[in-house]
């Protein structure tokens, strides 16, 4: 299972906002208090060159992780960076001394967590040639930044 994110198929222009919205539908189905918002003031997120299936997997794992660690009253914000995008939440955040460890296979602070979700996120990002880092979100939650992303025209 942990090896699943290491390989990607052909890449093509993918509408990032559409993939985020679909991943959110899968993860937040039935969660009344969970909210997804976009930081770009309603402006569409850029399209990116990616393997659509693997990008979906990355986002579903990241969003599921946010919900599992923050509960149903979570707000997740997605926005563009100059060379990528970010996903942040208003949950409890990740202490600075644990940020590198969250990507280790098997690392989990949830009782029922497998510890593979964020490991797969990192593997999928790296398979695309992207860098991923964890930092503080603007509302004290966790923020995952993806850089080195190739934007496309459509």
Query: What are 61-110's pLDDT values in tens digits?
Result: 999 989 888 877 899 999 999 999 999 999 988 889 988 888 887 666 55
Find the mean pLDDT for residues 44-56.
96
Length of the chain: 154
39 φψ region: left (φ > 0), alpha (ψ -120 to 50), beta (else): alpha
CATH of the domain at 69: 3.30.565.10
The boundaries of the domain holding residue 45 are 2-152
pTM of the model: 0.89
Please give the tally of structural domains in the chain.
Answer: 1
Q: Rounded to an integer, what distance in angstroms lies between the CA atom of residue 76 and that of residue 108?
A: 20
């Amino acid at each position: 299972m942990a090896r699943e994110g290491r390989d990607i198929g052909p890449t093509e222009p993918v509408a990032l906002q559409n993939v985020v919205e679909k991943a959110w539908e899968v993860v937040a189905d039935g969660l009344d208090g969970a909210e997804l918002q976009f930081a770009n003031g309603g402006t569409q997120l850029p399209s990116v060159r990616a393997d659509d299936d693997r990008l979906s997997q990355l986002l579903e794992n990241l969003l599921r992780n946010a919900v599992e660690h923050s509960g149903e009253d979570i707000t997740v914000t997605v926005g563009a960076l100059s060379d990528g995008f970010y996903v942040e939440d208003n949950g409890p955040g990740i202490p600075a001394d644990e940020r590198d460890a969250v990507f280790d296979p098997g690392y989990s602070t949830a009782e029922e967590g497998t510890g593979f979700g964020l490991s797969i996120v990192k593997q999928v990002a790296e398979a695309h040639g992207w860098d991923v880092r964890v930092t503080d979100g603007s509302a004290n939650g966790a923020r995952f930044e993806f850089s080195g992303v190739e934007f496309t025209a459509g």
